[in-house]
Structure 1
Amino acid sequence: MERVNPERRVSLAQQLVLELSRSILAGELPAGTKLPTEQAFTEARKVSRTVVREAMSRLQAEGLVETRRGIGTFVVDTTRPGDFQDSQHEKGSALDAVALIELRLSLEVECAALAAQRATSSQLQAIADALGEANAVGPLHQDSTRIVFEFHLQIALCTGNSFFIDAMRHLADTLMRGPQSNVTQQQRAQQVREREQIHAALAHQDADAARAAMRLHLTNELHRAQQAAQPPA
């Protein structure tokens, strides 16, 4: 039997996670939907059972699906009273993007610090995999927002705090409903460097450095969003 490179396996699992999470958050797979069986996934996707199991495990960790023993895996209800989408103002506007990043600043800075203290080796590997995907995706890719935010979500998962994780999951839902962000090549290169700094701090288990790196990254994102929100002269 042909051996699968571990990095290739992770990439395949990540791809399956991104496709399914996008469909779930977009409402294409509503709550209660039963996902195909493990065998059906392996036959349809031409991937191993290990890839499917890793993908399902990631989706469960993100709170998007649940497995009922002897019955199957089902999409869970990702909406709750008071969710962000219940807000009265129009979503997807430049001002809305500013408000979201302001919220992320108050949330993700401490997420990064806790992740640096609590992340396991397997979680750090998941963050590294998500980082590689985020740095490689082009800004015009239809899933670029989701792929980039996966890096941030993996950091939140390391906290082990369900409140942080739920908040980040709802943020992902809100971001998926908005338009893709437009950045220049120079800005994209800066974003890559900033994410690398965050990852380096996490890998060294340096909470202060992780906090500072995440604050710098989101502060710069806020400045970019504020510039986009300004009316033309």
Structure 2
Amino acid sequence: MRPSLLLRYPIGRKREIDERRASPGIGIAETEYCRHVGPQTPSSRFDLIRTIYYKSVHPIHLTSAFQELIMTVYRRPDPIPRASAPREIGSALTPLREQNVDLNQLAAKQIFMAIVSKQWGANGYLPKEDELGEQLRVSRTVIREATKYLAAKSVVETRRRRGTAILDTQSWNLIDREITAWISESRQFPHFGEDLLGVLAHTQPALAERVALMRPSTVAALPEIAAQIKTAPNEERGDLILEFHERIAVAAGNPFLRSLTANAVEGLRVHHRGVLGAFVQSCRMADYSDTAAAISNGDGDKAKQILHAVFARASGRVDRLSPGRVADLA
């Protein structure tokens, strides 16, 4: 008796098909595929089966390729998280299923917060995917996507046969607004607000000089903003000052410095109101009117000198800012 061929179907059972039925013609393959997979199978699947069949020299090749095709296309997905409480692993990570947000992004944030709190040590490796999945009560797919999300921000790096490495803080993409927000929310970087103010201190004078020489049409709004800074109440003055500096960065025309300035402005406005308030108190409101006038008149040197003085008076902090403050965590 001639041996039979075995095909494994997605429902997990086996069906014997005599090799004599695998005669030339694709009809049998299509019939068997539709019978067990369903009539809604895309036509591209049939095209792939035809290719497999016509490249086969012996029916056994058709069987092996057919089995591999079905097990690949209909591979069982990652398990759905159990409804029961997860096994305790001694982690501070919070389960995510109860929160109505994007799980991939939220998982990435939770992992990042654990990284900055040194839960797994500085410059170490993340736990395995199944362990992180149990702690956060999400599937491995979510953990995998969250890891990719962090890798795109240069926070972690996947290394073959070693795991997912936590990169040094100096490698992180600090221009990324999410990273800035997460760092600020973590409260692990006590001088991060001063670092953001330092971004403005080291770039704005030079940008103001450049804009004054260019005299683009986009600086027409600077005198109006400067006038509002003089008359605005204290709680609104900080936002107007930040808008003034952001307009200068936009007018300079450098997209990288514009993104850097926008990130620093957003961080100060949303997460570091205390640092912003101290900076506003150290400012002389007439300086912004003088800066706007200097830029409008094309006097770059004067605009640069005024802004240098503005930041130098900021409670004496700007001169002590260090670009390596964020690396203090490592």
TM, length-normalised to structure 1 = 0.51
Report 1:100-139 matches (<5 A): 100-120=196-216, 122-139=217-234
Task: Using CA pairs under 8 Å that are at least 6 residues apart, name the structure with larger relative contact order, 1 or 2.
Answer: 1
1:172, 1:115 → 2: CA distance? 19
2:253 to 160, 163, 175: 160
C-alpha distance in structure 2 between counterparts of 1:184 and 1:108, whole Å = 15
Q: 1:118 to 1:222 in 2, by over 3 A?
A: farther
The answer to whether the 8 Å contact 2:183/2:189 transfers is no
| Alignment-mate amino acid for residue 201 of structure 2 | L
Q: Does the 8 A contact of 1:134 with 1:151 survive in 2? A: no
The percent identity for this pair of structures is 16
* Larger helix share, 1 or 2: 1
The 5 A counterparts of 1:57-136 are: 81=153, 82=173, 83=176, 84-87=180-183, 90=187, 95-120=191-216, 122-136=217-231
Q: How many residues align?
A: 142
Q: List structure 1 runs of 4+ shifted beyond 6 angstroms.
A: none
Does residue 148 of the first structure (1) align with residue 245 of the second (2)? no
Cα distance 1:224–1:154, how it changes in 2: closer, same or farther (>3 A)?
same
1:1-233 paired onto structure 2 within 5 Å: 81=153, 82=173, 83=176, 84-87=180-183, 90=187, 95-120=191-216, 122-141=217-236, 144-177=237-270, 178-180=272-274, 181-182=276-277, 187=281, 190-223=283-316
Q: Are the structure 2 counterparts of residues 108 and 182 from structure 1 closer, same or farther at C-alpha, using a change threshold of 3 Å? A: closer
Shift of 1:86: 4.6
Structure of larger gyration radius? 2
Q: Do the aligned partners of residues 92 and 138 (structure 1) sit closer, same or farther apart at CA in structure 2, a change above 3 Å counting? A: farther
* TM-score normalized with structure 2 length: 0.38
CA deviation string 1:133-166 (max 9, x = no partner): 222221134xx43222111111111111111211
What CA distance in whole angstroms lies between the structure 2 residues aligned with 1:184 and 1:140? 13
Mapped to 2, the partners of 1:202 and 1:91 lie a distance apart of 39
- Note the aligned Cα RMSD (angstroms): 3.1
